[in-house]
Chain A
Amino acid sequence: MADSLDVSALEAWVREFARSIAEHKDELTALDSAIGDADHGANMDRGMSAAVAALEASPPADPGALLKQVGMTLVSKVGGASGPLYGTFFLRMAGTLGPDPADDEAFARALRAGLDGVIARGKAEPGDKTMLDALAPACDALDAALAAGEPFGAALRAAAAAAGAGRDATVPLVARKGRASYLGERSAGHQDPGATSTALLLDAAVTALSGSAG
């Protein structure tokens, strides 16, 4: 059995997500300039940079504390709608995981709790052209792969692939939530920035966590 998902594994996930957001910052902002207020890349980069800085200033002792700290930093520092959305995601994960290292099924439950938090906060539905369109299929794919007995790394890759497919499927959609919804039909033909950053979150999980749990 591989290592469990302890605080250092989850910290590696958060750091990899922050690194990836910084790398894709301009791409995210360009997507957001097409259908939004052109701040998603800068906002997420500000928030995740602050989250990493907080990890270094006061290292959390356990998984729940780590994810709570990330969530609180995001609800405060991001500025845009992705602050309360990603912040609530991490806060709900924190509440589900608690202090003990997680196994793969506990991680999947926490991810779904995060998804439920995003739904409660944003009131979006599937197909509204939001981050939900990447996150919901990722949770479904992770649950299905684990139920089929797949190892954690393979299950995470399935979840990331589903998030990527969900992201790609936002292109033809008409936005029904957020600033893009003011554009109506003109929002079709553009990839959703929130679904794009959510796919990066799942890719980061593959990179950082595939060797963990079991």
Chain B
Amino acid sequence: MARVGLVVVSHSRPLAEAAVALARQMLPSAEVAVEVAAGTDDGGLGTDAVAVSAAITAADSGDGVVVLMDLGSAVMSAETALELLDDDVRDRVVLSSAPLVEGLVGAVVVAAGGADRDRVAAEALRGLAPKQAHLDQ
């Protein structure tokens, strides 16, 4: 059984922590590593590539990490963070274009079930599917 870690990168620490709480509500007892890298160190809005690389390292148990992010600098900070990692860790990381909230909920559920990294990343990417089906869009 794989233990894939997740990282949430957001401009806002409250936004990231609330997304994690929402996702964990599905499986309160599940042991999934979900790390947050969000906000500036003075409590403002912003992202920090060094913090993202530390979060990836913390979430990584050797089976890979899926990184979800909000927009703009979050994406570029996540890409920059990859350059700061050791080669072997970097190769285990997937940066996901999934919607942050919906993608995280799906990813946490399948990661808790022991899915491998590619399966977790695929589940995150189909995060919008239930909402799109419901609204017939």
A contact set with B: CB distance below 8 Å: 39, 43, 46, 72, 75-85, 87-88, 91, 121-122, 178-179
Q: Is the CB of A121 within 8 A of B79?
A: yes
Tell me the bound Cα distance from A128 to B15 in angstroms. 30
- Residues on A with C-beta less than 8 A from B11 are 79
- Residues on A with C-beta less than 8 A from B48 are 75-77, 79, 83
| Cβ-closest 8 pairs across A and B | A79-B46, A84-B76, A75-B49, A76-B50, A81-B73, A84-B80, A79-B40, A76-B48
Q: Inter-chain contact count A-B, CB under 8 Å?
A: 59
**Cross-chain pairs A/B with CB under 8 angstroms, 23 sampled:** A75-B50, A75-B80, A75-B84, A76-B48, A76-B49, A76-B51, A77-B40, A77-B41, A78-B46, A79-B11, A79-B44, A79-B45, A79-B46, A79-B73, A80-B46, A80-B47, A82-B73, A83-B48, A83-B77, A84-B77, A85-B76, A121-B76, A178-B72
Q: Indicate the size class of the contact surface on chain B.
A: 10 to 19
Min CB–CB distance A25 → chain B (angstroms): 15
Tell me the bound Cα distance from A78 to B49 in angstroms. 10
Where chain A touches its partner, the secondary structure class is: helix
Tell me the bound Cα distance from A80 to B49 in angstroms. 11
Min CB–CB distance A10 → chain B (angstroms): 22
Q: Is the CB of B80 within 8 A of A81?
A: no
Beta-carbon contacts of B20-61 to A below 8 Å, as 1s and 0s?
A: 000000000000000000001100111111110000000000
Tell me the bound Cα distance from A57 to B51 in angstroms. 21
- Residues on B with C-beta less than 8 A from A78 are 46
Q: Is the CB of B47 within 8 A of A79?
A: yes
Q: Is the CB of A72 within 8 A of B50?
A: yes
Shortest Cβ distance from A36 into B: residue: B72
- Residues on A with C-beta less than 8 A from B77 are 75, 83-84
- Residues on A with C-beta less than 8 A from B47 are 79-80, 83
Tell me the bound Cα distance from A121 to B73 in angstroms. 10
Select B72's contact among A43, A77, A81, A121, beta carbons within 8 Å: A81
